[in-house]
């Protein structure tokens, strides 16, 4: 990660709560990632880029996977170390990993590749520390045809309107998925995607507005404080048009997909 990368420190206090998965979905994600890395080695050594609070890494470690992590968000790392001080973690840049070549059986990105200023550079660095035959893994949570997806697109459009910036049609997650696929194919490997978990939760338009105002989503982190009131003013009627009553419960569908190369 570099100074241009977005740090999760600003949401360290609420990260685990706002990114939580139901217990059954979390267990399915852990099992799916564990299967993917054990296909490479029976006792795999895995580096997680952007390990954060350990939300993904700790259950994997509990399942017997040897986890190592890097991150730049010191507030997130502090929470991880409070939970599991013995788990090896380094404060390091994703494009300049402090490890020898062929050190790991797998390198894992979850909820971070879309935030990196140079995802291609991070993927090259990850490949360099993989042993021959190792696996590069990219996990992401998606919201197919959901209020969150539509709200995120609206935030990007409105921010472009009020700031005069160029609007980006693709989401950061779409760009990250493309970077991962391009890197894999450049190495002569076709990435394989697996759906590990699906689940449903309830939300409201009001809660979505609160998440934007509180900068819970990474898509809001670049909005200057001076522009946030105008973004919220323009976003509110768009959400009302999408959802109707902002206090009416809306079903939110989520899924976790793992791409492997």
Residue 1 covered by a domain: no
Write down the mean pLDDT value for the chain.
88
pLDDT on residue 91: 94
User: Mean of the pLDDT values across residues 139-145?
Assistant: 85
Q: Which residue has the higher pLDDT, 88 or 21?
A: 88
Distance CA 48, CA 66 (A): 11
E-state strands within the chain: 45-49, 66-71, 89-91, 104-110, 130-142, 192-203, 250-260
pLDDT on residue 85: 95
Q: Which residue has the higher pLDDT, 151 or 212?
A: 212
Range with top average pLDDT, 95-104, 183-192, 195-204, 237-246: 95-104
CB neighbours of 14 closer than 8 A, spacing ≥ 6?
A: 214, 216
pLDDT in tens, 11-24: 666 666 667 788 99
Residue 63 covered by a domain: yes
pLDDT on residue 66: 98
Residue 72 covered by a domain: yes
pLDDT on residue 126: 97
**Where residue 215 sits, what CATH number does that domain have?**
3.40.50.150
Q: Which residue has the higher pLDDT, 205 or 13?
A: 205
pLDDT on residue 17: 62
Q: Which residue has the higher pLDDT, 214 or 144?
A: 214
Residue 195, number of CB atoms within 10 A of its CB: 12
Token output for 130: 């993989």
Q: Which residue has the higher pLDDT, 173 or 40?
A: 40
User: Mean of the pLDDT values across residues 223-246?
Assistant: 90
DSSP-derived letter for residue 157 is: H
Domain region containing 32: 8-260
- pLDDT over threshold 60, residue 4: no
- pLDDT over threshold 50, residue 2: no
Question: Is the distance from CB of 135 to CB of 39 less than 8 angstroms?
Answer: yes
CA 260 from chain center: how many Å? 15
Distance CA 20, CA 28 (A): 14
What is the percentage of the chain residues whose pLDDT exceeds 70? 90
Least confident of 50-59, 112-121, 190-199, 218-227: 218-227
Residue 221, number of CB atoms within 10 A of its CB: 14
Sign of CA pseudo-dihedral 50, 56, 58, 61: negative
pLDDT band at residue 3 using 50, 70 and 90 as cut-offs = very low
Q: What are phi and psi of 3, to 5 degrees?
A: -65, -20
pLDDT band at residue 136 using 50, 70 and 90 as cut-offs = very high
Residue 220, number of CB atoms within 10 A of its CB: 18
Residue 87 covered by a domain: yes
User: What's the number of domains the chain is made of?
Assistant: 1
Which residue in the block uniquely carries the two structure tokens 């502090």? 78
Question: Is the distance from CB of 117 to CB of 4 less than 8 angstroms?
Answer: yes
E-state strands within 97-151: 104-110, 130-142
Residue 2 covered by a domain: no
Helices (DSSP H) in 4-92: which residue ranges? 15-18, 23-38, 57-62, 74-83
Residue 209 covered by a domain: yes
Residue 96 covered by a domain: yes
Which residue in the block uniquely carries the two structure tokens 């070549």? 101
Residue count of the chain, please give it: 261
């Amino acid at each position: 990660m570099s100074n241009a990368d977005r740090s999760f420190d600003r949401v360290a206090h609420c990260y685990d709560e706002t990114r939580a998965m139901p217990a059954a979905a979390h267990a399915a994600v852990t099992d799916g990632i564990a299967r993917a890395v054990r296909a490479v080695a029976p006792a795999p050594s895995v580096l997680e880029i952007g390990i954060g609070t350990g939300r993904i890494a700790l259950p994997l470690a509990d399942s017997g996977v040897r986890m190592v992590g890097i991150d730049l968000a010191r507030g997130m790392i502090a929470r991880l170390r409070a939970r599991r001080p013995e788990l090896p973690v380094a404060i390091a840049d994703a494009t300049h990993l402090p490890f020898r070549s062929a050190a790991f059986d797998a390198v894992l990105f979850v909820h971070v590749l879309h935030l990196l200023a140079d995802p291609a550079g991070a993927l090259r660095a990850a490949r360099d520390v993989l042993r021959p035959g190792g696996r590069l893994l990219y996990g992401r949570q998606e919201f197919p045809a959901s209020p969150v997806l539509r709200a995120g697109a609206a935030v990007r459009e409105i921010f472009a309107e009020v700031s005069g910036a160029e609007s980006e049609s693709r989401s950061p997650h779409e760009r990250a998925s493309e970077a991962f696929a391009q890197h894999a194919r450049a190495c002569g490997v076709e990435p394989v995607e697996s759906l590990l978990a699906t689940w449903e939760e309830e939300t409201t338009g009001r809660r979505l507005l609160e998440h934007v105002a509180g900068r819970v989503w990474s898509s809001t982190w670049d909005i200057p404080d001076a522009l946030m009131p105008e973004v919220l003013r323009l976003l509110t009627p768009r959400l009302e048009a999408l959802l109707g009553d902002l206090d009416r419960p809306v079903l939110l569908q989520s899924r976790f997909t793992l791409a492997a190369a």
